[in-house]
Amino acid sequence: MPTTIPSPSLGALTVGDAMHHGVVTCRRDLSLRGVARIMAGHRVHCVVVTDDGEAGGSGLWGVVSDLDLVAAAYARALDEQTADGSAATPVVLVTPGETLERAAQLMTEHGVSHLVVVDPLTGKPLGVLSTLDIARVLADGGG
């Protein structure tokens, strides 16, 4: 009979094990059509909204998720809306060393599907962790 190796739990894996490195950003005043173009061009499910459009810039402001974008498009024309007016998803931060269990808890508590991963010393954004990233870990036997 083959030996079964137990899969690691979400408590044993870190955010750094599952996150996507790099952050796609935009300025607060960008139209939602522009946000949609960024999402499509980079093939991402969220764009981090900053005060100046730079990941290391003056401040994280919000997140426009694909679901936020669809809800906004349903409400009115994308060209009439901006990222700051539609960033319905708050910025929730996590560090690479935190467990996926903690990340899942934060996602659940805040009702978000994306966490911005930041350097614990500088606070600079390093990447994004999504519910899909956690699903991949679960599919591979974690949790």
Q: Taking CA 131 as the corner, what is the angle to CA 109 and CA 65, rounded to the nearest 5 degrees?
A: 85
Widest Cα–Cα separation across the chain: 64
pLDDT in tens, 19-62: 999 999 999 999 999 999 999 999 999 999 887 756 655 577 78
CATH homologous superfamily, domain 15-139? CBS-domain (3.10.580.10)
What is the layout of strands, in order, in the sheet containing 46-50? Answer: 25-27, 46-50, 60-65
Domain boundaries, the chain: 15-139
What is the number of helices (H) and of strands (E) in the chain?
6, 7
Q: For residues 96 and 142, what is the distance between their CA atoms, to the nearest angstrom?
A: 17
Work out the end-to-end distance of the chain between its first and last CA atoms, rounded to an integer number of angstroms: 24
More confident residue, 61 or 120: 120
User: pLDDT at position 5, please?
Assistant: 45
